[in-house]
Structure 1
Amino acid sequence: MHRSLDREALERRVIGAHRLTIAALAHAERVEHAVRSAVPGVCERDRLVADGERHRRFIALRDLLDALGYVPRGLTARLPPEPGARWPCRYRTHRRPRHA
């Protein structure tokens, strides 16, 4: 039973790390877009810092997944829609067609 609790705790850590990785990725992409668009107050150093954080989060997630040994079911995260987006940010999961 102790082993099962450890595995559940590790799964929760993996899910949390996955969410942080997605958030870091979204932030890095926003900063990169701001740098390319020459937004005042955002510079190349900001992009490097955001990208470094994204990479650090990814490595932590990878290490946790290696420790767990599998990808937990339902490991997904939806990003909130960007302010000013031109289209709704709704994505469907790919499903196999049903055969009658």
Structure 2
Amino acid sequence: MSLSNGMSKTTAAFLAQSVVAFAVSFIATLGGIVFLPLDPWQRLFLAISVLFLVSSAFGLAKVVRDHQESATVRVRLDEARLEKLLAGHDPFANVA
């Protein structure tokens, strides 16, 4: 599926599969932490590590997506048009 601006759109099935996979893996990891024979401080360390891992994975995905979008031909063409427009504009041409 493709949009008019060249960007692809994710399907509802892929979105649902991604959400379910994330939820199952997160719950399974937290369940493993709860049922491991560990002291409370060790459980908290593992829980904080998992939360940091999840938040950094979201951040990395956003950075990769932004980098990919900035490298598209459409964005580069828009930047070139803007540079051409700014180069040809003289703000003091009509002042005198």
Instruction: Please report the TM-score for the alignment, with normalisation by the length of structure 1.
Output: 0.34
- Greater percentage in helix: 2
Q: Relative contact order: is structure 1 or structure 2 higher (C-alpha 8 Å, sep ≥ 6)? A: 1
Instruction: Please report the TM-score for the alignment, with normalisation by the length of structure 2.
Output: 0.35
